[in-house]
Amino acid sequence: MCGIVGYAGEQTSKDVLDVLLDGLSGLEYRGYDSAGVAVANSSLDVYKREGDLSTLEESLPEQPPNGFAGIGHTRWSTHGPPSDANAHPHTDCDDRIAVAHNGIIDNDQELRDALEADGHVFESETDTEVIPHLVESAIDQGADVETAFRRAIDRLEGSYAVIAVRSGSEALYAARHHSPLIIGIDGDDYYLASDVSAFLGYTEDVIYLEDGQFATVRPAGVEVTDERGALVETSVETVDWDPEDAGKSGYDHYMLKEIHEQPHALRECLRGRPQGLENAVLLEAVADVTEPKRVHFVACGTSYHASLYGARLVRERGIPATAFLASEYDSDVIPIDGDTLVVGVTQSGETADTMSALRDANGAGGTTLTVTNVVGSSAARESDHVMYIRAGPEIGVAATKTFASQQIALAMLSSALTDDCSQEFVDALRALPDQVQSVLDDSRARAIAGEYVDSDAYFFIGRGYCAPVAREGALKMKEITYKHAEGFPAGELKHGPLALVTDRTPVFAVVNRESNPEKMIGNVKEVESRGAPVIAVTDTPEAVRNHADHVLGVPDTHWRFTPVLANVQLQLASYWVANRLGRSIDKPRNLAKSVTVE
């Protein structure tokens, strides 16, 4: 959600505008509805447009001026609708200061009222525009730019990652609070971004800014200070993602590529963890964690569905476990103490609701563990423990390979927390990558999806471990097709949803031979008798063939892992429906990859 990029470097090394546009291109996957850049030279050149990056590029002059430094932004609307005026960067009254901002300023109206009373004129409806005017006000009172920027930030309440640039200057000024901001270093060239994908083609060496830190970035170097202005020692880390991994590799969409990358992603997630000789799962992340008395999973969206699956695994092994929507997690009403392990599941490690829940848990005395894909992310740094799922870059907004990797990571976590493992469990884990590949190779989902493109709605049902995957299947369908879809435990059919079932509402039934298959077949008969087409996704095709219009089979595996394989079939079905409908599969409308506001 929203993306920031900044660049300051030797004037002869790179064209500032080209670097900014490259960076914004790398951030497109996060979701946005307008884009803009500001280049500092003797003046300040600002270009911004509603729409996608190509619209911005078409609006640029044939020979745009180069500069000393610059900032760019892709905006996802919160304050004010998409428009040229509301696009970032925003400037002060005299167009001396330009600012790009991710997050939400909670006290923006109060600040705007005070600034307008002092004669400042605003051009947009955004909360962000107060920032350059605050900087301008402090400069007019005699402060230098760096001091003025710090004073402006001190007056903000809310969440923010902010970069500012001034005309005539080669410096960038940055600060963060509850929103990610990363510095990239390549000799005398320096980058700032909300995501390493903005500069991964230039450098893999990064500094992660922490909450409350400020950075001044010039070609001469980087200076990081704390809230009091004291210098902070920083360490340079190397990002281990290959820029080539972020390409489409010949696939029509990132989503399809990432579905097909799942065997590799699972191999990476499993690497070095299941131990066949010892019948154990070794996880450094929890090596020193005492078995908790209770486990709380906090997550959103797809990660919440993975958490539902993980919580069931932990409960089955004897520890009370609950999955909470992170936005509903509140330590004032949910008991948390030193015996509580709170597991934040977040693909990006920056999800605002999940971050808030983890901070709440830390404050209440719980032990926190983050399960994430992004090394160095905010959640990884702020939790007591971290487990990486190692899925590699995921560009498509609709999560695919990260969901599969989350499922496997949580399966291993449930085993490691309780020392409950078996040879069968380890063997099944190790077989999963090849089994996923066999699903990809043999799936008939494309042909089946073609029959139901014009359906009114789609229903997804499952029981036990398959219920979370039914929910995830529905989420994928609605995200990328814009069609109504619902997923729920199959037993809930007769408690309301059955009223919506018709011959124009196909039902995807995930049937696991170990999760009440007889009851699932009863549910299949319920929708069949109402005329609904049934697509069974199952490891037991012989049991459902007479009651299903189509069967999408999955290989035999440990019954806990059937949902992992079934999910691949559901991903493919959703993808091919969306493809036939001509949807924007990688960047669905109104959605963002990294949701950094609550």
- The CATH number for 318's domain is 3.40.50.10490
Average pLDDT in the chain: 91
Residue 241: predicted pLDDT: 64
Domain identity same for 201 and 346: no
Share of the chain above pLDDT 90, in %: 69
Residues serving a catalytic function are 2, 593
Whole-angstrom distance, CA of residue 387 vs CA of residue 368: 11
Domain identity same for 225 and 252: no
Whole-angstrom distance, CA of residue 66 vs CA of residue 77: 29
Domain identity same for 394 and 365: yes
Domain identity same for 412 and 456: no
Last residue of a domain, one of 423, 440, 457: 440
Over range 101-128, report the average pLDDT.
Answer: 93
Work out the burial of residue 549: count CB atoms within 10 Å of its CB; fewer than 13 is exposed, 13-18 middle, 19 or more buried. middle
Q: Which tens digits make up the pLDDT trace of 374-383?
A: 887 889 889 9
For residue 9, what pLDDT band results from cuts at 50, 70 and 90? confident
Question: Terminal CA-to-CA distance of the chain, rounded, Å?
Answer: 11
Sequence-ordered alpha helix ranges (H) in 514-561 = 517-528, 541-544
Domain identity same for 362 and 267: yes
Domain identity same for 219 and 336: no
Q: List Cα–Cα distances, 523 to 30, 156, 492, 500, in angstroms.
A: 39, 54, 9, 14
Query: At 45, which helix (H) or strand (E)?
Result: strand 44-50
Name the domain count of the chain: 3
For residue 595, what pLDDT band results from cuts at 50, 70 and 90? low
**Domain range for residue 309?**
245-440
Residue 398: predicted pLDDT: 93
Is residue 79 pLDDT above 90, yes or no? no
Q: Which residue has the higher pLDDT, 33 or 317?
A: 317
> Lowest-confidence range among 56-70, 83-97, 557-571?
56-70
Classify strands 484-489 and 457-462 as parallel, antiparallel or unpaired: parallel
Domain identity same for 36 and 114: yes
Is residue 357 pLDDT above 90, yes or no? yes
Q: Which tens digits make up the pLDDT trace of 130-169?
A: 999 999 999 999 999 999 999 999 999 988 999 999 999 9
Considering just the CA atoms, what is the radius of gyration of the chain in Å?
25
Q: What are phi and psi of 591, to 5 degrees?
A: -110, 155
Beta strands in 132-288 (DSSP E): 158-166, 172-177, 182-186, 189-193, 205-208, 214-218, 221-225, 237-238, 274-275, 280-281
Residue 598: predicted pLDDT: 57
Whole-angstrom distance, CA of residue 9 vs CA of residue 15: 9
Is residue 78 pLDDT above 80, yes or no? no
Domain identity same for 218 and 258: no
- The residue length of the chain stands at 598
Domain identity same for 269 and 366: yes
Q: Which tens digits make up the pLDDT trace of 376-421?
A: 788 988 999 999 999 988 888 999 999 999 999 999 999 999 888 8
Residue 13: predicted pLDDT: 60
Sequence-ordered alpha helix ranges (H) in 1-104 = 16-27, 53-59
DSSP 300-352: -HHHHHHHHHHHHHHHHTTS-EEEEEGGG--TTTS---TTEEEEEEESSS--H
Q: Which residue has the higher pLDDT, 279 or 24?
A: 24
Instruction: Give the CATH number of the domain where residue 160 resides.
Output: 3.60.20.10
Domain identity same for 121 and 8: yes
Sheet holding 385-388, edge to edge: 321-325, 294-299, 340-346, 367-372, 385-388
Domain identity same for 88 and 170: yes
Q: Which tens digits make up the pLDDT trace of 478-516?
A: 999 999 999 999 999 989 999 999 999 999 999 988 766
| Helices and strands, number each (H, E), in the chain | 17, 26
Classify strands 69-75 and 34-40 as parallel, antiparallel or unpaired: antiparallel
Last residue of a domain, one of 390, 409, 440: 440
Last residue of a domain, one of 201, 220, 239: 239
Q: What are phi and psi of 166, to 5 degrees?
A: -120, 145
Domain identity same for 170 and 84: yes
Whole-angstrom distance, CA of residue 555 vs CA of residue 122: 61
For residue 11, what pLDDT band results from cuts at 50, 70 and 90? low
Q: Among residues 99, 161, 103, which one has the least CA distance to residue 130?
A: 99
Q: Give the count of beta carbons closer than 10 Å to the beta carbon of residue 278.
A: 10
Q: Are 4 and 128 in contact (CB under 8 A)?
A: no
Q: Which tens digits make up the pLDDT trace of 214-253?
A: 999 998 899 999 999 999 999 898 877 665 555 677 789 9
Q: Which tens digits make up the pLDDT trace of 300-353?
A: 999 999 999 999 999 999 999 999 999 999 888 898 999 999 999 999 898 989
